Amino acid sequence: MKKVYATASEALEGLLHDGMFIAAGGFGLCGIPELLIAAIRDAGTKDLTIASNNCGVDDFGLGILLQTRQIRKMISSYVGENAEFMRQYLSGELELEFNPQGTLAERMRAGGSGIPGFYTKTGVGTVIAEGKEVKTFDGQDYILERGIVADLSIVKAWKADDTGNLVFRKTARNFNPPAAMCGRVCVAEVEEIVPRGSLDPDHIHLPGIYVHRIVQGQHEKRIEQRTVRKKETA
Amino acid sequence: MAWDRNQMAARAAQELEDGMYVNLGIGIPTLVANYVGDKDITLQSENGMLGMGPFPFEGEEDPDLINAGKQTITELDRTAYFDSATSFGMIRGGKIAAAILGAMEVAENGDLANWMIPGKLVKGMGGAMDLVAGVGRVIVVMDHTNKAGESKVLRECTLPLTGKGVVDRIITNLGVLDVVKGGLRIVETAEGVTEDELRAATEATIVS
């Protein structure tokens, strides 16, 4: 069982095909699999459906796959920071399915956990409920949402051991664990691969059973909105 | 006279009680954190954090540490991190005591619209639909009227809904209203605002 690959492109070899469905981790530009996204751009895989909370910005993250017209459809909760996204969406080139953020996360978690659907009160009485089964439990209405199973998951973690156990850092965890869970195959890019035995088994955030391939690399980790406060002078 | 942004935030902060876990939306709701005083409040950021701290000092920004508005923030001694599914599990599961958020329209039955204007650029609902459906108490903080002077407190929402019958309390520049059976009840008026002025600026049914 060899999970470690030398480059992002090698880690994706044999996994990409036109028209495929990819689940990607990340929130905004935080904790996004930036190396794997670049490798998919280089591979030129087309007609992608991508489930990801956001779609990057114009020149970083999933936004670079919009520039090359590789994405056919996005499943997201918020896509506000991307002018090219809006241009393609309004011109009809790009399909968009809005999911409430928690519903999207749960769809991934459920799909990866063998749960084909679940009922939630999120979106009841809104456009999100249109065409969905409504069921009443204890006097309250819920809508049926489907679990997601993707052809491929691409995620970013802080550290991995060579068996694929992952540790994330701060809010860069976000959608990465549920996205990893819902893929038939999951490729993780990390900042550091450490030898097995060096991570505390009690502190693993995502067990290696969900992670099939790993690649280590240098990350730009761009900040979307730099907000600071002034140091008070004594 | 009416409340300004900071006075609205200060009034909203009075809604919070010691020990509460709370989610604050973007805009005026973010300012509420400045007015909690000595109360022990834990702020949730739905991208996966409990115990959100203030903005970092210049040079100490961490790209791995942002809030739901994608702004760089800091952690506190109580902070816990978790994934998005867990985060919305605690939201949907009713563990978050209150959400304070802005709105475009609120109706007398508690309907809330704050995510989409048809024909305009649609950015998405983010976590707003999950929050209003799941948290214990939904408190809206917004201006009472829009730029054209029309009431944002309506009989029925005209915009696509974020949640149906979800709002508990509305805090505006003119006062505080509760969603009750049959309409809205005036809780208080802002300094210098009369009850008549508040009624005149409100399209929704006001019950006593």
Model confidence pLDDT, tens digit, residues B128-140: 999 999 999 999 9
Average confidence (pLDDT) over B180-196: 97
Taking the CA of residue A37 and the nearest CA in chain B, the distance in Å comes to 18
Q: Give the closest residue to A158 by CA, choosing from A175, A178, A173, A180.
A: A173
Taking the CA of residue B60 and the nearest CA in chain A, the distance in Å comes to 8
| Predicted model pTM | 0.97
Task: With H, G, I as helix, E, B as strand and everything else as coil, classify residue A95.
Answer: strand
A58: its two tokens:
């114009």
pLDDT at position B122 is 83
Mean pLDDT for chain B overall:
96
pLDDT > 60? residue B197: yes
Show residues of chain B in contact with A106, CB under 8 Å.
85, 88-89, 92
Q: Do B47 and A27 touch (CB under 8 A)?
A: yes
pLDDT > 80? residue B100: yes
Architecture in CATH of A4-118+133-216: 3-Layer(aba) Sandwich (3.40)
Segments of chain A scoring below 50 in pLDDT: none
CB-based burial of residue A60 (10 Å sphere; 0-12 exposed, 13-18 middle, 19+ buried)?
middle
pLDDT at position A233 is 60
Catalytic residues of B: 46
Which among B67, B83, B125 has the least Cβ separation from residue A176?
Answer: B83
- 0.95 surpassed by complex ipTM: yes
pLDDT > 70? residue B123: yes
pLDDT at position A234 is 52
Give the residue extent of every domain in chain A: 4-118+133-216
Q: Which residue has the higher pLDDT, B122 or B104?
A: B104
Report pLDDT digits (tens) over A194-230.
999 999 999 999 999 999 999 999 999 999 999 999 8
Report pLDDT digits (tens) over B23-49.
999 889 999 999 999 999 999 999 999
How many other CB atoms are found less than 10 A from the CB of residue B46? 25
pLDDT at position A217 is 97
